[in-house]
């Protein structure tokens, strides 16, 4: 069966937007933004690191929302959205961990330390890898959707755990937002804030394009599975 023309147009639009957005983000991150006074040039990896973490959160929230909706409405499309978003979330969590490891080596002189933020991020990564394993192990589309939806809802508890870990427990991981007095503030120069936001937007566009492509592929795979099952039943008869 052919892909939905609307899905293809959306994929192409996001891919077309992602190229100039990524180029702009790289220019700001590597050339325009100033060096951090203490960390120097290595701080520039921060823009990819934060944007990747944001998109991991966003994807896992999509898994959570689609899972809740699936248990309520039992629509196959919602299960497909959850499955596709989980893979995108794992991809960006992996990128978050990878950039964090290089940051740790440059700043803390170790490749890995069991800092609360790093540890909880790794736990989150394992939880969503386990989510995909649950999907792969379950038989039957409805049973797979139901089990993975329950697991997807439970796994989302790791997202606030990661986000607030640097505040709840004392660790070495820096906080972007500082609480000083009644109002929080972002502890960065204005140029760095602009660069961070631009990188987040660029990576979000890339994430959206990857998600649209993966969702379209998931729908085609499910259509192919149903067609194979129909042929098998007809031949068996």
Ranges of the chain whose pLDDT falls below 70: 1-7, 171-172, 174-187, 236-237
Looking at residue 1, its pLDDT comes to: 40
Looking at residue 113, its pLDDT comes to: 85
Give the torsion through C-alpha atoms of 81, 53, 124, 79, to 10 deg: 0
Q: Which two tokens stand for residue 24?
A: 């702009």
Q: Which two tokens stand for residue 194?
A: 């602009």
Reduced to 3 states (helix: H, G, I; strand: E, B; else coil), residue 34 is coil
- For residue 178, what is the DSSP state? E
CB 16 within 8 A of CB 24: no
Specify if 205 maps to a domain: yes
| CA gyration radius, the chain | 20
Instruction: Quick: pLDDT tens for 13-22.
Output: 888 888 999 9
Residues whose CB falls within 8 Å of the CB of residue 164, separated by 6 or more in sequence, listed in order = none
Looking at residue 199, its pLDDT comes to: 94
Looking at residue 96, its pLDDT comes to: 95
Specify if 203 maps to a domain: yes
Domain extent for 146:
42-171+192-236
Angle formed at CA 232 by CA 228 and CA 234, multiple of 5 degrees:
115
Q: Among the residues of the chain, which ranges form H helices?
A: 5-27, 45-73, 76-107, 116-137, 141-155, 158-168, 190-236
Looking at residue 183, its pLDDT comes to: 54
Phi, psi of 109, rounded to the nearest 5 degrees: 65, 25
Q: Number of structural domains, the chain? A: 1
Specify if 9 maps to a domain: no
Instruction: Give the Cα separation of 131 and 93 in Å (integer).
Output: 14
* HSE-up of residue 71 (Cα within 13 Å, Cβ side): 13
Looking at residue 204, its pLDDT comes to: 95
Specify if 139 maps to a domain: yes
Q: Left, alpha or beta for 5 (phi > 0: left; psi -120 to 50: alpha)?
A: alpha
Specify if 22 maps to a domain: no
- For residue 130, what is the DSSP state? H
Instruction: Quick: pLDDT tens for 62-111.
Output: 999 999 999 999 899 999 999 999 999 999 999 999 998 988 888 888 88
pTM of the model: 0.88
Measuring CA to CA, which residue among 14, 16, 32 is closest to residue 24?
Answer: 32
Looking at residue 7, its pLDDT comes to: 67
Q: Please give the C-alpha separations between residue 134 and each of 8, 94, 229, in angstroms, as whole numbers.
A: 29, 19, 22
Specify if 183 maps to a domain: no
Specify if 1 maps to a domain: no
Specify if 14 maps to a domain: no
Instruction: Give the Cα separation of 112 and 122 in Å (integer).
Output: 11
């Amino acid at each position: 069966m052919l892909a939905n023309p609307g899905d293809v147009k959306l994929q192409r639009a996001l891919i077309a937007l992602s190229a100039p957005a990524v180029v702009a983000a790289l220019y700001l991150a590597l050339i325009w933004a100033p060096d951090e006074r203490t960390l120097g040039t290595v701080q520039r990896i921060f823009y990819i690191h934060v944007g990747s973490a944001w998109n991991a959160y966003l994807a896992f929230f999509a898994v959570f929302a689609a899972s809740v909706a699936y248990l309520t409405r039992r629509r196959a499309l919602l299960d497909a959205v959850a499955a596709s978003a989980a893979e995108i979330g794992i991809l960006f969590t992996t990128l978050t961990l990878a950039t964090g490891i290089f940051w740790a080596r440059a700043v803390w002189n170790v490749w890995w330390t069991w800092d609360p933020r790093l540890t909880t991020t790794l736990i989150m990564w394992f939880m969503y890898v386990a989510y995909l394993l649950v999907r792969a192990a379950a038989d039957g589309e409805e049973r797979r959707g139901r089990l993975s939806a329950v697991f997807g809802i439970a796994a989302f508890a790791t997202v606030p755990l990661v986000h607030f870990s640097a505040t709840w427990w004392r660790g070495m991981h820096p906080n972007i937002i500082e609480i000083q007095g009644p109002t929080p503030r972002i502890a960065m120069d204005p140029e760095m804030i602009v660069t961070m936001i631009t990188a987040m937007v660029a990576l979000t566009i890339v994430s959206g394009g990857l998600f649209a492509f993966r969702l379209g592929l998931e729908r085609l795979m499910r259509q192919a599975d149903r067609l194979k099952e129909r042929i098998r039943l007809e031949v068996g008869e």
